[in-house]
Structure 1
């Protein structure tokens, strides 16, 4: 199955085959458009005759993986898929229909940006589309974009990048700057879906033959939230393990290389899942996995899971993005805490470690959906606490949580390195200590 070349081919590729087009009363374009561009009416008519479409976008409803959705698909052969007043009116009507019928929105952009023939009236459509997308977001309805080739200019900067989940077809040209307005020495590879994925601006690249199933999977996850706070997963360690006798033993257990990590917990807890990627600010942290998973009862829980590495600013921002998205969609959140702490190298500081951690604290503190957290390994200072649900933190037997790593605490207290083990004992960081101190609600068992 090849990449879709037309708006209707894209719709056929994405939907189950029952697309119903949204009908709008539009006559022929008159008077050369809103700014009287010479010959625009004729150009518009020729584009219509050549493509069989009356505008650069086709809108309607269809089922995707059994989930009904509003679909907005761009026709690049119609004046480069450009956004004019009629394009904006159609997309606005589609969003209004989505809100009226409580349907998710799927956008299939292939556009070169705003339409020159309509001047500033065309550029204003970006504000109007951003408002429509915001209203749909405020209504708690998910938006998914699938970037086709090309997706540039205002179409990328509104309906594309403004979606909750952003997918792309392989090799698609993606960037705010179109090919004719870039610096002459610009590297074309920087303006691709693959580059946008590497820098945290899209979530995944999906081959055409997998698009319908992937979209259906995403829609089923985002529209079937679990109810109430979720129970913490069971511990994956060996059953019957006695509590750590000391702080130093608790730290040693948590640092064992063979200890179960986030991937094992996610596999055990969810029947299937999809992941988001990137912080939308230029960064990706593979040590923070975020997404949506299906419980055995078919309902969805969002998750953000640290993987045992020092969490980088991009990881904190991605987790904050996940929490806010889940909150907007009414999906409860599970977090898995496991990090020696926030990354503290110069690159992390330059990338805004402090603001990123602050943003995650704020996202967690302001969430209206229930949050549940499980400490599955190391809980290193504020870099771990930022991901922990206030008042609903649980711990596994092979974990610890500390105001700071014992080695760092010893250094701050001007103790020799060999006293870090004694310091660990004094910090009361064992799971049982956390429960007694009111930090954790309980210790989960295998």
Structure 2
């Protein structure tokens, strides 16, 4: 018999619902309500895997829509605690269509500047992971949780226990931001909620230079200083600048570049987002992660600080195959489109467009230990077919010292 609660007339479905309600004490696989996490009022959405595998049916979709729309009306963040096998087979396509409704609500909240943190518990599979979970601003995975679009029962035998289908595997592939334990989850959530809701419109302060205070005498000295491994790097600047900070991870497209640190930090009573190069050649995933960070910060009114330190973009075959030019273009676009101010400090090497892609137009400073150039002097010598012994002279001709860049109007000041 067909009914609103059993649209396909699935034999035994009503009895399954009764048993699930008796076992859980809940009407559906999802419960929701406003709670305090730390000092932040949030809409908490929780899936119960005991209720028909945490599956989503039409009534579940109604609950998710109401939870997200209520959060939007009240301007409060959403925290989703997922544990689900995906769509409810007993409702067929009616169940699957709920994913479109959920995706629409996620989009509307995102456009309204409503933060969404998803927590992937064991298991998180199917369309709910691919819509509600993967669409969140910050994604946390519980250690050991199965996380995959295809559940274990529908994967091939050789993939059944592959670590790629775990929270740790998804983290390694840049799909989630952190793997946490159940015990640490409350503090992690509270910290992220403070960071995501603490933005102000004022630009980020320019960090204090941590290395030399005197300026380099020659262009080649500037290059050598910037390449000195003893020079303070991004990690030192972040530790000095922020009271505390949390990192995001990966480009959500399968890539991670450990040479770019992206996240949000607390400085005084406000949040500041950051994208910091660490001295290596920046990969496609690094630019995509930085773009994701800048776009996220812009949505929540959080100013951005970028720290430039790279000899340039990675130029190997793997980088070209992974869409390097498009990734650099995306970073330029993210900076250009941002409504929030992007403040930049060049703390080491500023090599070509690979460095410029993360620079705030008109808001770029440089330290005495850094240089910024259209290209490095060795590469310039190779392109111009100059002898290697002309490299130091080329460094002077490129006018790449901090004081040269200030005289030319390229930077706003020397930190």
Question: Scaled by the length of structure 2, what TM-score is found?
Answer: 0.98
Following the alignment from structure 2 to structure 1, what is the Cα–Cα distance between the partners of residues 254 and 390?
A: 41
Following the alignment from structure 1 to structure 2, what is the Cα–Cα distance between the partners of residues 438 and 119?
A: 63
> Which SS does the other structure have where 2:159 is aligned?
coil
2:216 is the counterpart of 1:267: no
Aligned residue for 2:383? Answer: 412
CA deviations on 1:87-134 (whole Å, 9 max, x unpaired) are: 111011111111111100000000000000111110001110000001
CA deviations on 1:229-287 (whole Å, 9 max, x unpaired) are: 12210100144x2x211111110111111100000100011000111000001011110
> Which SS does the other structure have where 1:63 is aligned?
strand
Following the alignment from structure 1 to structure 2, what is the Cα–Cα distance between the partners of residues 428 and 177?
A: 55
> Which SS does the other structure have where 1:95 is aligned?
helix
Q: Which residue, 214, 218, 223 being the options, matches 2:188? A: 214
Aligned residue for 2:227? Answer: 255
Give ranges in structure 2 of 5+ residues lacking alignment: none
Aligned residue for 2:295? Answer: 324
Map of 1:38-437 to 2, 5 A cutoff? 38-188=11-161, 189-239=163-213, 241=214, 243-296=215-268, 298-437=269-408
Report if aligned partners of 1:377, 1:400 keep a CA contact under 8 Å in 2. yes
> Which SS does the other structure have where 1:190 is aligned?
helix
CA deviations on 1:339-374 (whole Å, 9 max, x unpaired) are: 000011111111111111011111111001111000
1:422/1:390 CA distance change after superposition, 3 Å: same
> Which SS does the other structure have where 1:172 is aligned?
coil
Following the alignment from structure 2 to structure 1, what is the Cα–Cα distance between the partners of residues 169 and 279?
A: 27
Following the alignment from structure 1 to structure 2, what is the Cα–Cα distance between the partners of residues 65 and 210?
A: 13
Report if aligned partners of 1:32, 1:38 keep a CA contact under 8 Å in 2. no
1:212: Cα distance to partner?
A: 0.4
Question: Scaled by the length of structure 1, what TM-score is found?
Answer: 0.91
Following the alignment from structure 1 to structure 2, what is the Cα–Cα distance between the partners of residues 265 and 144?
A: 28
> Which SS does the other structure have where 1:289 is aligned?
strand
1:227: Cα distance to partner?
A: 3.0
CA deviations on 1:387-446 (whole Å, 9 max, x unpaired) are: 1001110000110001011100000001112211111110000111111222100101xx
Aligned residue for 1:4? Answer: none
Following the alignment from structure 1 to structure 2, what is the Cα–Cα distance between the partners of residues 32 and 441?
A: 64
> Which SS does the other structure have where 1:394 is aligned?
strand
Aligned residue for 1:3? Answer: none
Report if aligned partners of 2:119, 2:141 keep a CA contact under 8 Å in 1. yes
State the Cα RMSD in Å. 1.1
Give ranges in structure 1 of 5+ residues lacking alignment: 1-28
1:187: Cα distance to partner?
A: 4.9
Following the alignment from structure 1 to structure 2, what is the Cα–Cα distance between the partners of residues 417 and 429?
A: 18
Following the alignment from structure 2 to structure 1, what is the Cα–Cα distance between the partners of residues 5 and 72?
A: 33
> Which SS does the other structure have where 1:168 is aligned?
strand
Report if aligned partners of 1:340, 1:405 keep a CA contact under 8 Å in 2. yes
